Amino acid sequence: MLIEAVRSLPETIQLEVNIYGNIRQDPDYADRLKAIAGDDARISFCGTFPNERIGEIFEKIDVLVVPSIWFENTPLVIYSALAAGCPVIATDLGGLSEVIEDRINGLLFRKGDVTGLAEISVCWPMTGRCLQTSLIIQNLQRPSLCTLTNWRPVIPKLSKAEGEKMKCLVLGGGGFIGINLCERLLLAGHSLRVFERPRLLVGEKGSDPPVLPFQQSVEWVEGDFSNPADVEGAVAGCDVVFHLICTTLPKSSNENPVYDIETNLASTVNLLEKARNTPVKKIVFISSGGTVYGSRSKYPSRRAIRLTRYVHTVLQNWQ
């Protein structure tokens, strides 16, 4: 959609669009994007980058564009952009519009509105400077965005007794939040077991495994979260379980809700059943980015209103 918006503008309009993402993850989709981009020199496919370079990336851009066509789960990249003083252009959909306030810290456009996105791009040089100034003032006037350092008070409480450390299991320890959590747990002196998909350990064809600097310091277990035997083996002998696994994305969960329920909800219930018969004393469930970063101060939120309408529409279709 962003590529179509750029291609609809005359070549005399100077702008530069850098598209980040692993093009080898879905080669067919990547080929379609490149075909739409054609030979437009204003569009570049930049691949991926290590998370520690995200600040450097934001320094090089004027605006982050998130042109989603489905409901999102408050993407972490939006919070990173706002913390860096980078405005955001996003679709006016749940999960995005709760964070981006139109003409306050970014701009919103209607889902699928290529023309609207193109018009925003043309007007950005003037609008962007105003929003960047507004963001700088907002960041000076409010506390910094929640970071993983806020978890520090929680980790010491995991100790059974003074001087005794816990055996912790992190389900999904290879993700962004998981890697940071594992580092904090190790710094606190706890022993650690990480449960991950085989891809993160051996690497799938056409994809690169993540860089895990502490991988030699933990016990790594690979398996299928939906397999009760794999989960039972991972939980055995642990005192605390951190559950960060999610098997779907917003797009895939909408396209196949049955799979979403079977692999996330049912698998989590199975985890609870397995933990009930073990020494596990606590399960910490990270349900969403919104939960990690805190609740909204204004109610009802636009997401709640949109979700109510969505559920009503689904029920009508089922009747």
Count of Cβ atoms closer than 10 Å to residue 75 Cβ: 19
* Tally of structural domains, the chain: 2
Per residue of the chain (319 residues), what is the pLDDT tens digit? 899 988 888 888 888 899 998 888 888 989 999 999 999 999 999 998 887 788 888 888 888 999 988 877 778 888 888 888 788 899 998 888 888 888 788 889 999 899 888 887 766 655 555 555 555 445 444 443 333 333 333 444 555 555 567 899 999 887 777 887 888 888 888 889 999 887 644 444 444 445 555 556 788 888 999 999 999 999 999 999 999 988 877 677 778 888 888 888 899 999 999 898 888 988 988 766 554 444 455 544 444 444 444 434 434 443 3
287: CATH: 3.40.50.720
Q: How many C-beta atoms lie closer than 10 Å to residue 214's C-beta?
A: 15
Contact 200, 194 (CB under 8 A): no
Only one residue has tokens 């320890």, namely: 173
Helix, strand, or coil here: 213? coil
Neighbours of 23 (CB within 10 A): 18
pTM, entire model: 0.51
Tokens of 207: 């994809």
So what's the pLDDT on residue 211?
52
CA distance 235 to 171: 10
Residue 316 domain flag: no
The answer to whether 217 touches 205, Cβ cutoff 8 Å, is: no
Confirm whether 35 is domain-assigned.
Answer: yes
Q: Examine residue 310 and state whether it is found in any structural domain, yes or no.
A: no
Domain of residue 110, residue span: 2-141
Residue 32 has what pLDDT?
92
Q: What was the pLDDT predicted at 312?
A: 40
Query: Are 173 and 214 a contacting pair, CB within 8 Å?
Result: no
Do the beta carbons of residue 2 and residue 114 sit within 8 Å? no
Q: Which of 80, 108, 141 is the last residue of a domain?
A: 141
Task: Please say which residue of 141, 158, 189 terminates a domain.
Answer: 141
Examine the domain organization and report whether 152 and 289 are in the same domain: yes
Instruction: Please indicate, yes or no, whether residues 153 and 274 belong to a single structural domain of this protein.
Output: yes
What pLDDT does 49 receive?
86
| Residues 176 and 253 both lie in one domain | yes
Q: How far is the CA of 112 from the CAs of 2, 26, 33, 85, 118, in angstroms?
A: 10, 22, 16, 27, 11
What pLDDT sits at residue 122? 67
Q: Domain of 111: which CATH number?
A: 3.40.50.2000
Q: Are residues 155 and 91 in the same domain?
A: no
Judge whether 317 lies within some domain: no
Provide the greatest CA pair distance for the chain.
69
